[in-house]
Structure 1
């Protein structure tokens, strides 16, 4: 059917027709359509299908699969067994003569056995004087003669089963003909299986032709689907740079092809600009559920779609031909193999480091989560460092570890910090449960609105407690977590401050003041001023962190920057 429809497209498109008057302009489409609608393939398909009964094929009925071929010829009837000459005249393909003759004979044998049983019931009606007598089938036992319990029957009739009012019998003649019927059915089943194998062997002669047609139809289906998708969703044609140019991916207003179909106009597009001669690594931070994973998947999907020849969901796209897209995201384990989630993550990371090249796209999401914080940060940092220094491939690295951002200083200009933007408002949680061991006080838990827009800069918060609140974790649990988070943050701030003050008050014995008397004399007098400057910087930084007003926060940061600049200049 598909071949006949496709032939209508190219029926008049011959080589003599000018390209502007052709129905199909693409040489690829013309080749695919020509292969899928080959006249030889269609003729073979018609010949093979003419042997089969479609309804029986749909139901998987092997017994009646070839019965339509017998029905097409009135000559095939009860006289078939004795008169086969007519089949030589009616069958166009002599190779099927023998097998169809066997199938037809098998069906006739079955039909004759049934007719003999039907004739027997007529005799029993006369013998018993019961015009309405019919065979009964009970619990899978067929051709039963059901009579009242007080009805006398010949002694050779075999009782099969009974009820309070009736008794069911099998007569010797019924049993004999029933055995003949079952034997005929078994022989027909064997013949049909042989016929099916013969049919498959004949089909195998055309296997290469049908395979080429199926592959062409599959390609047409794929191209048509991608074309329809591109037209409906305003996709654009991607442009590939020459092979001799540096690796690069430039996507304007990129969209996730799957989520866009669900969200429609509510989906927030994002830009991507990566170049091997410039910034070829993005470190993406931001709150949980903020859209980080969606963004990196979107870049990978757009790259794949472009390379298979599809238009892409973006305003524009310029990229190189990648030799592979390597990803490490999600969490999984292999209990059967005795491996943990963290081992599987490390195994995936190892595969990436060993196989990627400078022409690859590497996507890594949350590496190092399944172990201690120090080990996780160290492994994530070392992995990214290896990719940047040894592989120099395009990398998008999602992390919640702020320490990873320190790698920017070593690869200046090659690594950019980004985060998914959000709006944060304040929500007060009143904690007043003495049984929890928490004193009555007010804790600050921010409410967050995700904007799903990728912007420059790092995010300092992950808003894990907000996600716990969305997941409907018990409020008592969230309150305790909020207090614990605040205490840990305060302890960390004090520890960092005390460490810096100790360094200022107690210089190292191997420090510059003892190793150089001249430096010691020069620095002795401004020592107190240096300590005061550090205290002012720390005070401004704490004020910026705790201030709710953006203007005041910027003012505090500017003050700290000015003091630090003066210290650096001496």
Structure 2
């Protein structure tokens, strides 16, 4: 099984950190070969892209050697798929300069020694020392004039200078241009051609460089298949190393992936949330789903308690396990799923005129239409966007549909605030209730973040509102209304307390306490002084 081979590769890299470090060091030096190759094939690559390709190929031999020291069948297969591409790298490095310009039509691309004609033209354009010396030597040999010199000025261009003493040996095809006190200066047809070559050398070099570059680019494009195959192998090794690094750093385990339908996780964690928590530890939770009696899990509990986090971590661990990764848990046994469907969050679609509830129902419809018995469904508070009874009716109908093995029978995590739905545990054999444990101290509430069997006894909505910072008067009134509603009575109108016409003695004592507290320097207060202060303040009230 491919998943098992991936897990084996990750496990070997986790257990061999030294080898993993060597492989990672090679990977850091490899550029995005596939992206560069795409530009080359489409004809949009410049010189820097070719240099990037050559530099990206340079670590491939070392990477191949490091992979050869590992035993995993998958890593061995990836090693065999790596083409070192030394021929392409050598060709690029011999042809293109180390730091080419961005444009390919202005020259400066081709390295010295890559093309004889370009080198000759560059020599001429840069003063032509070699070419001038060659012409000078040829003319001396032909004429026998040992003092003959070839020079250049801006007025005549290139010229041949002959001293007066050898004037009789000057050939007839020399054309006199200037007479000086001690010498005569001449031009020839060859020098005129040299001058024309110099004047057009830059344009010719640019054209030749462009032609040579495009030929090289086309040649490399023909080998796109081998580059892409190597890029795919490098990418796969990179993914496996990344999965191994995360697993080693964060204490992940190798899950047992089966062809069954079970999802059994011990002390599972959310891979993202646990990393962003700075001042507290992530509370791990167990999961038992897809086994007899637990095909559907109904999760109740207050807002902010961690229902959505728990459901998402289960979905993420299923995906991680199926892609061959280790998972954030102490142990896990996960059956293969064909799809993961989620209906989490609330949002409207103003552009198409769809309300929050309509968007929710559309998504639920798509889930029920496409899900199978091997799917995993994550459904968060279905039906909350409409009236209580309508929402509860829809939520129950959806639950009955997904729990019915003849209709769907998919593994489902269903979070809800409709506590009436928890009665389904007694009515359907494969539905089980869970809740997020909460500890209440007076009016205060502590989220324990622990998933425990059974239904929640309260919604704790008023307490959550209090945590959110609603005014105290609003919270007090909400508690009064909640008691009346739970008792089945109609909500009574609030009774306004009449304001007193004179200040009470209680108010005066309270003001005295406030003035006394303002005088206290808390940062210098000792424990015994604090206790004495509290005693005095209590006496004042």
Normalised TM-score (structure 1): 0.57
| Inter-partner Cα distance in structure 2 for 1:49 and 1:338 | 59
| Unmatched segments (≥5 aa) in structure 2 | 1-28, 31-56, 132-152, 158-198, 492-541
- Aligned positions of 1:221-232 closer than 5 A: 221-232=238-249
Contact 1:48–1:203 (CA<8 Å) still a contact in 2?
no
Contact 1:51–1:66 (CA<8 Å) still a contact in 2?
no
Q: What count of residue pairs does the alignment treat as equivalent?
A: 366
Contact 2:265–2:288 (CA<8 Å) still a contact in 1?
yes
- Aligned positions of 1:303-322 closer than 5 A: 303-322=318-337
Aligned to 2:380: 365
Contact 2:298–2:433 (CA<8 Å) still a contact in 1?
yes
Check 1:25–1:334 CA distance in 2 against 1; reply closer, same or farther (3 A cut).
same
Aligned to 1:150: none
The Cα shift of 1:78 comes to 5.4
The worse-fitting range, judged by mean Cα deviation, of 381-390 and 69-78 is: 69-78
Is residue 45 of structure 1 aligned with residue 59 of structure 2? no
2:273 to 245, 249, 259: 259
| Inter-partner Cα distance in structure 2 for 1:248 and 1:68 | 63
Contact 1:300–1:325 (CA<8 Å) still a contact in 2?
yes
The Cα shift of 1:45 comes to 3.5
2:80 to 23, 27, 34: 34
Check 1:463–1:9 CA distance in 2 against 1; reply closer, same or farther (3 A cut).
same
Q: Which one has more relative contact order, counting CA pairs under 8 Å at least 6 apart? A: 2
Check 1:460–1:223 CA distance in 2 against 1; reply closer, same or farther (3 A cut).
same
The Cα shift of 1:387 comes to 0.5
Check 1:392–1:62 CA distance in 2 against 1; reply closer, same or farther (3 A cut).
same
Check 1:212–1:479 CA distance in 2 against 1; reply closer, same or farther (3 A cut).
same
Superposition RMSD in Å:
3.7
What do residues 252-290 of structure 1 show as CA deviations (whole Å, max 9, x unaligned)?
A: 111111112223771110001123433211100111100
- Aligned positions of 1:440-459 closer than 5 A: 446-459=443-456
| Inter-partner Cα distance in structure 2 for 1:296 and 1:75 | 72
Contact 2:263–2:334 (CA<8 Å) still a contact in 1?
yes
Give 3-state SS (helix, strand or coil) of 1:289's partner: coil
Contact 2:437–2:448 (CA<8 Å) still a contact in 1?
yes
Give 3-state SS (helix, strand or coil) of 1:337's partner: coil
| Unmatched segments (≥5 aa) in structure 1 | 14-21, 87-114, 120-180, 427-445, 495-570
| Inter-partner Cα distance in structure 1 for 2:420 and 2:206 | 74
Is residue 67 of structure 1 aligned with residue 109 of structure 2? yes
| Inter-partner Cα distance in structure 2 for 1:335 and 1:345 | 14
| Inter-partner Cα distance in structure 2 for 1:464 and 1:191 | 78
- Aligned positions of 1:191-340 closer than 5 A: 200-241=217-258, 243=259, 245=260, 247-263=261-277, 266-340=281-355
Normalised TM-score (structure 2): 0.60
Aligned to 2:179: none
| Inter-partner Cα distance in structure 2 for 1:283 and 1:308 | 27
Is residue 398 of structure 1 aligned with residue 442 of structure 2? no
| Inter-partner Cα distance in structure 2 for 1:187 and 1:346 | 69
The Cα shift of 1:481 comes to 3.4
